[in-house]
Structure 1
Amino acid sequence: MFRPIPEAALLRRAPYRLIAAVLLILALVVSVILLFSLEQEKLLLQGVTQGKTVPTDLFPALWQSRRDLTLVALLVFLVSAIGITAVITFLHHDSTLRTLEEVKGLARNILESIPTGVLTLNRSGIITAVNPSAEVVLKRASTDLLGHSYESVFTEGDTIRRALDAALRIHRHMCQKDLPYESRDRTLHTIRVSTAELTGDDGRPAGVILQAQDVTEWLALERRVRVAEKLAALHTLSAGVAHELRNPLSAIDLNLHLLEEEFKEQGGPAKQAAYYLRVLNAECRRLSVILDNFMKFARPGSMGLHAVDLPALIEHIVALMRFEAEERKIQLEQRVSKDMSPVLGDETQISQVLVNIVVNAFHAMPNGGRCCIATEERTEEGNRLVEIVVSDTGIGIEQEDLPRLFEPFYTTKSGGTGLGLAIAYRIMQDHGGTIHVTSVPGNGTQVVMQFPVAVDHQQSVAVGS
């Protein structure tokens, strides 16, 4: 997985101070032994002569003996010094190797355990290290990366390719930058990328290190949290506004009816006055619908959660929307398994969500197309879920609009109130489910809803804002 760093020269790691200290002690020992031998020789010579004159032919033999003794002492010192130096150097080298392997093992374990993907390259652009998290983020095996040039692994225009090009060629690094990344299966992810200079043992630049983390789910969760915060802030406001407007609107509607009756008693209103009355009545009805949506969006209520038969519910909705689909030249399809587990929810509110989504799909196909409702049962993290997918072949949604779809009063349709998807989001929250929208402009939209599978007994819970 990781290539080891080349070992430094052996002599650079030698413990010079320890060797010098041991050799100094050895020299002292040899010197003491030599002096003791010379002193013994002197005493022996004094005992032999006993005050007599020393023969001159004895001096050459005496000096030869001393030279031999000195030579033997030096030889013993050199042999001992070499042996001791070799032993100390070997022991120190062995200890250094063990320490180095422990450090390498610790570094390897750390890199393999961290959740952030790590990719290292040398100065030539060859990939030298890949940890398991990088394999998961990049959706590539280490065998396809290690030892290869990054230019041959990542295609031109690839997110990682551009980041490594900037880091290696012009030394421009990035920090915690969110970039789109398309995996081999054409799935689009968002990865958070950082690059930095990689230095060698000598402190010089040795390449580039890249860190990558898949933050697709994190960003989606952040968006859901922001939407939930906005919804929570608007619940009370919407309820108050709806309540305060309901009374004057009812008074206006009542007086309009009285005015119509008054005109009828007087022979009927003029043509222009009748037109004005029709406009006022239509706008009053429109305001009433908006206020009803306000109340649905803002009012906390009590839901009786029970097992809902989704196949039967979807079949009913398809039958209900079939006539409108034919008028719009839309092919309405369903791919639903009949033996699917029931979900836990309120049938009326789930119907409201599905109808809202299907109507939006119809509006996205002004020239006709295909709308499909499909279901799938799956298990995620030990929880059994039923997934409903509504897909269309319409005009799609721009990427900058996707994060704001569930915000109240935000709409991309002329004449829309911007509350339909906000109410659907609220209902999904109340059911403990999720709703997610993906779209490609010009290639349609896909809405995915997930509901928990019903338990064996019925439940009734109060849902508050």
Structure 2
Amino acid sequence: MWTDTLNSTQVPAEVMRKWQEIVDLLADILNVPSALIMRVEPPNIKVFVSSESKGNPYEPDEAACLNTGLYCETVMNTRRPLIVPDALQDEAWKSNPDIKLGMISYLGVPISWPDGEIFGTICVLDRKSNEYSELYLRLLLQWRDVLQADLRSIATMQREIEQREAKIRRLVDANIIGIVTWNVEGQILDANSEFLRIVGYDQHDLLSGRVSWVDMTPPEWRDRDALTISELKNKRAVQPYEKEYIRKNGGRVPVLIGVENLEGTEGQGVAFVLDLTERKRAETEARESERRFRNMQTELAHANRLATLGQLTASIAHEVKQPITAALLNTQTAQRFLTRQQPDIEKAKKAIDRAVLNGMRVSEVVDRTHALVRKEPVRKDRLEINEAISEVIGLTRGEALKNGVQVRTQLAEGLPVIQGSRVQMQQVMLNLIVNAVEAMSQMSDGRRELLISTQAEADCVLVAVRDSGPGLPEDAIERAFEAFYTTKSSGLGMGLSICRSIVEDHGGQLRAAANVPKGAAFQFTVPINSDCPA
């Protein structure tokens, strides 16, 4: 399979120009009418590069069938150099097709890919009898080595490109959120399985062109989409917004969508789509009955995670898109280094290494998001709290930067391992960090600082989140943990209530207080063992 890929690999233009110089020099030095690089493309062998020498009858891309007795076939079959001084005087070569072109003498050597498969030959031909000295054979072998070095670089580049594309495709196919590329005319150019699931279409519909951004958008939402397109002309991204899609079956699905321009293209963009069906259902049911959701806490906690991650859609998209773009640029840089007249393998390797690191960075972001999105039974295991907190900080980094918030950490070293649910502890941190960032984003002046700290205290681990925002009014400090109480213009007011329930379920306590000199401070304890006081 890899050999099939290499056989169809295009040789870069810079390398082709170098190879043209090689065959021209060979024809000139050996004083022959024809110097060729042949490439096998089963069932044919074709003239890949032909010298621009006087009297050369071979044209580039001219092909001949294999098994016709060509000189080059013998070279490829034996994988050894071949010298034919005069085919007219040799019974074995009298029927050679090249004689019809007047080429009666031949010197050629095989060219191989790095895996040993035959690429073709490099050869010279003459209209007169020619013994071709040992010196000429050595010269041809030297040029052959140059060509094979180029093929090694091409094969390495091809392998890295395919690995990068496969990694990016795996990220798209991870199906954590819907991902779709589109153009300003409303056409869907590509979409992953999660997006197709959301709107109820399949790959066949996508390939046939039946999936249209405009057709799927209800009339009342089209003005909002038009505004998004207009905003994208002035800036690369717009704030995520809620809308609905018309599914293939005629039903509607609520979504949260973040949109960005696609770099390097004109009039195209990428959208990240989160299905809000579960969140909307949870909101409706939560308003109907507080008691009901006091008894289905796990379900509501999951919906709250989805809602919080929904707010972070643009930041998560940026965290994924930035290293993908960097990986692409590094791969293109490696390609340029490899296709120079004198390939710079070392610099190309460093560029490819950077591309791999960026791919790993994307994978880490996807893994963190996936862990928080999936719904699974609560399980308390041994947990390193600092590591869990650091992952959430990484996930919310883009949101903090977007809102001008400086995040500092004071995570104590050597903290004891606790018993707890990693996902639930991360949900608590996610809510507290997002709330703090959102509170500070409303400030018109002053420094926006977020300090996250951990420390050992008695038989507990103490975690604190302190911000420099407007703080909480005195009468709102305790009410902040009441279900459905909120100081925001939107939201259910369930986040802090769920956080307190999670902490108390772990045997700890969550408190709020004023920060000094300004802002709010939230801190919670998690016991190292069951004897820890709340």
Tell me the TM-score range normalised by the shorter chain: 0.3 to 0.5
Q: Bigger relative contact order, structure 1 or 2, given CA contacts below 8 A and separation 6+?
A: 1
Structure number with the higher helix fraction is 1
* TM, length-normalised to structure 2: 0.33
